[in-house]
């Protein structure tokens, strides 16, 4: 499937659609919900590398939870990037702690955006669980500061993502 660069309007529309879909899933399953996507700078949200990074993120999440408590699991690919929704019959705090440990321990974890919503449709933050805020890929300052100020070029960020992925792929091939 060929994808073209994403416009701001497409990104905003996709965000709105995800929000509606998420709310429907939480109401339907009456469970906490994980939403997985990729932290990918710029307007190109799809590539073979992004797909591989996403697939490994989804595998890592599904391995962390017993199959019997996974009530719903759906993944989609669109021009705005891959995404997954997973409804899990556990308290949202417990899920967030597990998904945060994946983000912190897996070599690709920094590239995943794993959001957890409770049954009241509220996003759980890392801060409220006493977890450190996300840091910039490049300079290790708070990620939101670098993102807002556009401190680093998209090319530098993409190169960093590719380096992390390549290191991970090389390690997997060797073992």
Mean pLDDT value across residues 114-127: 96
Q: Mean pLDDT check: name the lowest of 3-7, 36-40, 64-68.
A: 3-7
List the domains of the chain with CATH numbers: 8-132 (3.30.70)
Which of 97, 93, 94, 89 has its CA nearest to residue 68? 89
pLDDT band for position 117 (cuts 50, 70, 90) = very high
Measured distance CA(117)–CA(119) in Å, rounded: 7
Rounded to whole angstroms, the Cα distance separating 116 from 123 reads 6
Percent of the chain with pLDDT over 70: 98
| Strands (DSSP E) found in 28-167 | 32-38, 70-76, 83-88, 112-117
- Other Cβ atoms less than 10 A from the Cβ of 109: the count is 18
- What digits encode the pLDDT tens for the residues 14-39? 999 999 999 999 999 999 999 999 98
pLDDT grade for 92, boundaries at 50, 70 and 90: very high
pLDDT tens digit string along 155-168?
999 999 999 999 99
pLDDT tens by residue, 125-146: 988 889 888 888 899 899 889 9
* 3-state SS, residue 19: helix
Does the structure show a pLDDT above 70 at 2? no
Task: State yes or no: pLDDT of 175 exceeds 70.
Answer: no
For residue 41, the model assigns a pLDDT of 84
3-state secondary structure of 123: strand
């Amino acid at each position: 499937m060929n994808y073209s660069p994403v416009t701001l309007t497409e990104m905003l529309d996709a965000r709105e659609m995800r929000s509606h879909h998420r709310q429907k899933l939480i109401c339907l399953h009456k469970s906490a919900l994980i939403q997985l996507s990729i932290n990918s700078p710029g307007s190109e949200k799809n590539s073979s590398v992004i797909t591989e990074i996403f697939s490994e993120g989804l595998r890592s999440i599904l391995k962390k939870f017993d199959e019997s408590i996974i009530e719903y699991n759906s993944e989609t690919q669109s021009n705005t990037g891959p995404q997954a929704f997973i409804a899990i019959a556990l308290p949202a705090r417990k899920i967030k702690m597990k998904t945060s440990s994946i983000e912190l321990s897996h070599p690709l974890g920094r590239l995943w955006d794993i959001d957890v919503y409770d049954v009241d449709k509220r996003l759980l933050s890392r801060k409220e669980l006493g977890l450190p805020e996300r840091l910039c890929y490049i300079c290790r300052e708070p990620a939101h500061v670098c993102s807002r100020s556009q401190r680093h070029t998209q090319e530098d960020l993409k190169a960093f993502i590719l380096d992390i992925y390549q290191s991970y792929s090389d390690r997997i091939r060797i073992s």
